[in-house]
């Protein structure tokens, strides 16, 4: 269509295709690509579902399919569980350290070096850029409690780069602004061209009118000369 050659649209299409074909970063997940759940790309570039392979994957790896699509977090400490993790949390590894832990009474520490607190003595809530990480503790003591590793699933990965395109400062908005600027410039050029065309039309009309008058004069002169030449021939004959 009209956007077939647009660079921004082609970039989005390429990123989508690449995301759908590349394995996710979670190497511990048995589901790594769409092919693992029976979803493949046909010769027309469209996704097709093999129902039998999808059913087998759901029967054998149901939870892993959820991890494949969503943003997930895994703790290295067996007594730490990722209770919830927000879509805004970037993929990566975050160290967990407790400065105070009395189960059911008090819980304080840091996640990724940022202060984290608790309201119930069991759930540690991050702050700042990590405010949407919530960890639950079932045991252990204070000090180093290992790491939380956040993985991007397919859906969250697609959501992230779509947000980059659609963000108020993203590629689509920027592209739209530049196209609108071009439209404004073209409108200005069109107005200038219309004015120029009108001036040229007036000039040509003036020249045509002058030429038409000149041709009329030349036609009259030609007729006069023809008449005089005709009279001259008669005068010559009479004298003979």
Q: Per-residue pLDDT tens for 163-210?
A: 777 777 777 777 778 888 888 888 888 888 888 888 888 888 888 888
pLDDT at 222: 82
CA angle 59, 60, 62 (to 5 degrees): 70
pLDDT at 20: 84
The tokens 């659609």 sit on which residue? 166
Do 87 and 162 form a contact (C-beta atoms < 8 A)?
no
pTM tops 0.85, yes or no: no
Query: Strand pairing partners for 41?
Result: 47
CA distances from 180 to 166, 171, 173, 175 (A): 17, 14, 10, 9
With a cut of 50, list the residues of the chain below it in pLDDT.
Answer: none
Q: Rounded to 5 degrees, what are φ and ψ at 92?
A: 155, -175
């Amino acid at each position: 269509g009209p956007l077939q050659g647009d660079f921004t649209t082609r970039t989005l299409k390429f990123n989508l295709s690449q995301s759908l074909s590349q394995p996710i970063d979670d190497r511990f997940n048995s589901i790594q690509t769409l092919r693992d759940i029976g979803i493949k790309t046909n010769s027309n570039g469209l996704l097709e579902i093999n129902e039998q392979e999808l059913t087998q994957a759901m029967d054998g790896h149901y939870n892993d399919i959820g991890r494949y699509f969503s943003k997930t977090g895994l703790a290295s400490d067996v007594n730490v569980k990722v209770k919830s993790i927000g879509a805004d949390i970037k993929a990566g590894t975050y160290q967990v350290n407790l400065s105070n832990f009395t189960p059911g009474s008090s819980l304080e520490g840091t996640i990724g070096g940022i202060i984290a607190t608790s309201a119930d003595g069991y759930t540690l809530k991050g702050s700042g850029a990590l405010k949407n990480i919530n960890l639950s503790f079932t045991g252990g003591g204070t000090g180093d409690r290992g790491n939380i590793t956040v993985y991007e699933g397919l859906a969250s990965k697609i959501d992230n780069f779509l947000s980059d395109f659609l963000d108020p400062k993203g590629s689509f908005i920027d592209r739209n602004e530049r196209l609108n600027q071009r439209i404004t410039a073209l409108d200005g050029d069109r107005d200038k061209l219309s004015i120029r065309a009108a001036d040229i039309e007036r000039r040509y009309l003036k020249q045509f009118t002058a030429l038409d008058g000149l041709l009329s004069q030349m036609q009259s002169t030609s007729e006069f000369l023809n008449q005089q030449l005709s009279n001259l021939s008669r005068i010559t004959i009479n004298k003979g």
